[in-house]
């Protein structure tokens, strides 16, 4: 009888972080090629496909951790890490959906800078995740986590700047201020989600050294 294949949690985490990078790349593509909201339907379908694939990985993790006799790290940590990774993908898709739902008529000039920062956060997190399975011995893991936190701090500063600009330069258009405030709020949330994953990884490191 063949031996049952053991589920690789770290491989699953890496798949999730790689999907987050792909979703961030789609966000940049949506912004760079924007003409009108109606034209976003195709890219939204692609984004939703990535989100669906991410859900499948997340469900596989949840299903396996419930029955595995031994897990490489604590079950609660596995569940939290998987859910936080899934959140990143969801939040990035949500930004694209907001462009469409709010029927934006122009792409704000600060949106691309924010999207690029989201991608940098996802790429940094993906690099850290590749190193995560070796976190006890790795000489680079801690710095990779710091990189994620650094991008989140940049996102905080950018968010402060763009929201102030909206309320000082576009205050004659309340609807524009409302719509873009909500969109930028969700973009900042994407970087926060990356930091939540990084913080969870740091906590796991401290609990297992």
CATH number of the domain residue 181 falls in: 1.20.58.220
DSSP class of 5: P
Report the share of the chain in percent with pLDDT over 90.
Answer: 81
**pLDDT at site 20:** 98
Query: Tokens standing for 148?
Result: 């994620």
* Half-sphere CA count of 33, side-chain side, radius 13 A: 13
pLDDT of residue 68: 85
With a cut of 70, say whether residue 3 has pLDDT above it. no
Q: Is residue 3 part of a domain?
A: no
Query: Is 208 in a helix, a strand, or coil?
Result: coil
Q: What span, in angstroms and rounded, lies between the C-alpha atoms of 107 and 170?
A: 14
Alpha-carbon span 143 to 157, nearest angstrom: 21
The predicted pLDDT at position 4 comes to 57
Residue 149: alpha-carbon gap to chain centroid = 13
Q: What is the pLDDT of residue 141?
A: 86
* Residue 10, pLDDT above cutoff 70: yes
Per residue in 96-115, pLDDT (tens digit) is: 999 999 999 999 989 999 99
How far is residue 82's CA from residue 35's CA, in Å, rounded to a whole number?
A: 35
Domain span at residue 75?
A: 9-207
Residue 1 lies in a domain: no
More confident: 135 or 143: 143
**What mean pLDDT do residues 83-97 have?**
97
CA nearest neighbour of 9 among 101, 184, 111, 133: 133
% of the chain residues with pLDDT over 70: 98
Asked if residue 201 lies in contact with residue 135, where contact means CB atoms within 8 angstroms, the answer is: yes
Q: Is the separation of the CB atoms in 10 and 133 below 8 Å?
A: yes
pLDDT tens digits for range 148-182? 999 999 999 999 999 999 999 988 999 999 999 99
Q: Give the total number of structural domains in the chain.
A: 1
Instruction: Give pTM, 2 decimals.
Output: 0.93
pLDDT at 1 over 60: no
Q: Is residue 63 included in any domain, yes or no?
A: yes
Tokens (6 digits) for 117: 């920062």
Q: How far apart, in whole angstroms, are the C-alpha atoms of residue 202 and residue 73?
A: 13
User: Is residue 78 one of the residues assigned to a domain?
Assistant: yes
The answer as to whether 2 is a domain residue is: no
Chain mean pLDDT for the chain: 93
pLDDT band of 142, cuts 50, 70, 90: confident
> What confidence tens digit (pLDDT) does each residue in 42-58 have?
999 999 999 999 999 99
* Range with lowest mean pLDDT among 4-8, 73-77, 160-164, 175-179: 4-8
Q: Which of 88, 82, 87, 75 shows the shortest CA–CA distance to 60?
A: 82
């Amino acid at each position: 009888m063949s031996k049952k294949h053991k589920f690789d949690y770290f491989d699953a985490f890496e798949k999730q972080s790689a999907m987050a990078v792909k979703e961030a790349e789609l966000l940049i593509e949506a912004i760079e090629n924007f003409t009108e909201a109606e034209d976003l339907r195709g890219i939204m379908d692609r984004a939703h496909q990535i989100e669906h694939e991410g859900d499948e990985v997340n469900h596989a993790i949840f299903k396996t951790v419930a029955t595995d006799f031994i897990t490489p790290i604590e079950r609660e940590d596995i569940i939290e890490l998987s859910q936080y990774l899934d959140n990143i993908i969801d939040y990035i898709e949500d930004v694209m959906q907001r462009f469409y739902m709010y029927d934006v008529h122009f792409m704000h000039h600060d949106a691309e800078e924010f999207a690029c920062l989201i991608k940098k956060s996802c790429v940094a997190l993906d690099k850290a995740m590749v190193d995560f399975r070796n976190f006890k011995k790795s000489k680079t893991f801690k710095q990779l986590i710091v990189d994620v936190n650094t991008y989140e701090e940049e996102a905080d500063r950018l968010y402060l700047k763009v929201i102030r600009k909206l309320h000082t330069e576009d205050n004659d258009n309340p609807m524009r201020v409302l719509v873009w405030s909500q969109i930028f709020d969700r973009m900042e949330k994407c970087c926060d989600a990356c930091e939540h994953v990084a913080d969870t990884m740091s906590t796991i490191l401290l609990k297992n050294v």
